[in-house]
Amino acid sequence: MVEKTHPYWPTQLPAKLTYLQGEKPLVDYLEQHAKQTPNETAYIFYGTRISWSALSNQVQRFAHYLHRMGVKKGSCVALYMQNCPQYIIAHFAIQKLGGMVVPLNPMFKENELAYFLEEAPIEGIISGSEGYPLVKKAIEKTHPLQFTVTTNYYDFLPEQPEWKFPEEFLLSKQHFTETDDFCEILQNESPYEGKETIDIWNDVGLIVFTSGTTGRPKGAMLTYGNALFKTAASMQANGMGEKDVLLASAPLCHIAGMVMGLNSPVYTGRPCVLFTRFDPLATVEAIEKERITYWYSIAPMNWAILQLPTIKDKNLSSLKTNLATSFGVQVTAELADNWRTLTNGCSLFEAAYGLSETHTCDTFMPIDKIKYGSCGISIYETQIRILSLETGEEQPVGKEGEIVIKNPGVFKGYLNRPDATSETLQDGWVHTGDIGYLDDEGYLYFLGRVKEMIKSSGYSIFPEDVEALLNLHPAIRQSAVIGVPDPLKGEVVKAFVVLHDREKVKFTAADLIAWAKETMAAYKYPRYIEIIDQLPATPSGKVLRKLLKEE
């Protein structure tokens, strides 16, 4: 049990964190569900229902294959797939053997894959068949792997999917002579009967590549205990109950999508509808049919559902909790009010502040006191401080500085990067490289990255601040802000905006600049605005300002 530390802790929440099955790896939780509730549904994949006993059996069979391939405690195995049951099976099969899962974004291309194959001692890779040609080229550029497995999403789809499946992944079955087929492995292997001893607080079970505070991606080493702690803390703080039904549409390769779509169902034993990719209508249909109660979304997803022409005819009243992340579109009181009306009472609020190095979810939003614009308060056994960028001294309430964090979710360091580790991880504290402040009730406000901060005439400008203000304009759907050179001011603000379709002919960039000038401080308003059709973003919805700056 872990004592709470926050002085403004909600009275309705337990003061201590209790692990549902004790301190053990999440794969052991999965096996316990298979013993206690074997026939209950674990995942629903476009209509295909997978029970806990079936899922556990598939994990055991795939673990037996991996064991034959030489995977053992400390081995690195990469996953390069879209969201699918195969991803979940492979993830826990690797960890069943004490191995380390290395999630690779399925949007990565050949050179990016080659970089990761050089950075981590990856012994094998499980790939979607559509991505294998890129994997093959990356291997040819680097070094051979001990094994390669390919899989087709068709293999786990029902004959008639209940909801629209992404057409670009509906590929005919492909057989590669140099790879093993995932489903053939499940058919031919016997269950693995061994048992690896795992020290959950010290053994690494996950390596997530992240840019961290600076530079090219580095492998953040996370323990089995990091995953257990953050999943348990998030589920208890956000009030997941025994009757909840989950929906997962965020990428499982991303740390937030992993917590909500992979770890949380396995920790709680609650059924989860799994989507390969977010689709507004399919999401609405799934919520209606499966009576989904709990969803983690990205704010643009909620916005897209609200724009569906027939949305007022849908019944989303089963939805009770909707944690969301502000990427491009902010989680505002107005968006939350519209969502509450549509769903007949579902609360929509900022999910959390977090980063890969802490296994995310370092904060949560108290449901009885939501503060829009904030990231909530620190979660169980978590300390958050704000340090001066100049002196390193702790800042008082309301004063901005670098966010530093300490809790049982903190990573062990970066793989083979001692210098980067010592810069980020100091005496158990993660120096995030993010700028923010705490208010008088301990709510955290995120202002932006140190590296993305814009300095104009001596003033510090945070992109998220300007974006939030721009998004108040009724014509603007999304915005992203960068700094561009200026001979007098050093830098000035440039904004890229996406307009609502109905407003595209009504407003010019000059109109928007004039409006911004009237509504923002003189040093802050954008001197340049470019109207574009779409912002570059990761699969999780995070806007890539770096690409805008490069262009």
C-alpha separations of 235 from 17, 40, 57, 261, 364 in Å: 10, 20, 26, 12, 10
Distance CA 466, CA 481 (A): 7
**Cβ burial 98-122 (10 Å sphere, 16+ → b, else e):** bbbbbbbbbebebebbbbbbebbeb
pLDDT in tens, 82-122: 999 999 999 999 999 999 999 998 888 888 899 899 999 99
Please give the pLDDT value at position 469. Answer: 83
Q: Is residue 236 part of a domain?
A: no
Task: Please report, for the domain that includes residue 480, its CATH number.
Answer: 3.30.300.30
Q: Is residue 170 part of a domain?
A: no
- Residue 238's closest CA among 459, 17, 450? 17
Q: Is residue 252 part of a domain?
A: no
Secondary structure class of 486 (helix, strand, coil):
strand
Supply angle C-alpha 325, 329, 330, rounded to 5: 60
pTM of the full structure: 0.85
- Residue 22's closest CA among 49, 36, 1, 44? 1
Q: Is residue 500 part of a domain?
A: yes
C-alpha separations of 368 from 8, 11, 245, 361, 466 in Å: 12, 9, 22, 19, 28
Q: Is residue 530 part of a domain?
A: yes
The 3-state secondary structure of 171-210 reads CCCCCCCCCEEHHHHHHHCCCCCCCCCCCCCCCEEEEEEE
Q: Is residue 497 part of a domain?
A: yes
Distance CA 348, CA 367 (A): 10
Phi/psi at 245 (nearest 5 deg)? -125, 125
Structure token pair of residue 151: 């899989």
C-alpha separations of 455 from 80, 214, 380, 447, 505 in Å: 39, 18, 36, 14, 33
Which domain covers residue 485, as residue numbers?
Answer: 453-550
Q: Is residue 525 part of a domain?
A: yes
Give, for all 551 residues of the chain, the pLDDT tens digit.
344 456 778 888 999 999 999 999 999 999 999 999 999 999 999 999 999 999 999 999 999 999 999 999 999 999 999 999 999 999 999 999 999 999 998 888 888 899 899 999 999 999 999 999 999 999 999 999 999 999 999 999 999 999 999 988 988 888 899 999 999 999 999 999 999 999 999 999 999 998 654 456 889 999 999 999 999 999 999 999 899 999 999 999 999 999 999 999 999 999 999 999 999 999 999 999 999 999 999 898 999 999 999 999 999 999 999 999 987 678 999 999 999 999 999 999 999 999 999 999 999 999 989 999 999 999 999 999 999 988 899 999 999 999 999 999 999 999 999 999 999 999 999 999 889 999 999 999 998 777 777 878 767 687 877 888 898 899 999 999 999 988 777 789 999 999 998 878 789 999 999 999 988 878 789 999 999 999 988 666 678 787 888 77
Number of domains in the chain: 1
Q: Is residue 9 part of a domain?
A: no
In the block, which residue shows the tokens 């965020």? 250
Structure token pair of residue 368: 């009885």
Distance CA 544, CA 481 (A): 10
- Segment holding 93, helix H or strand E: helix 85-96
Phi/psi at 484 (nearest 5 deg)? -125, 150
Distance CA 122, CA 115 (A): 11
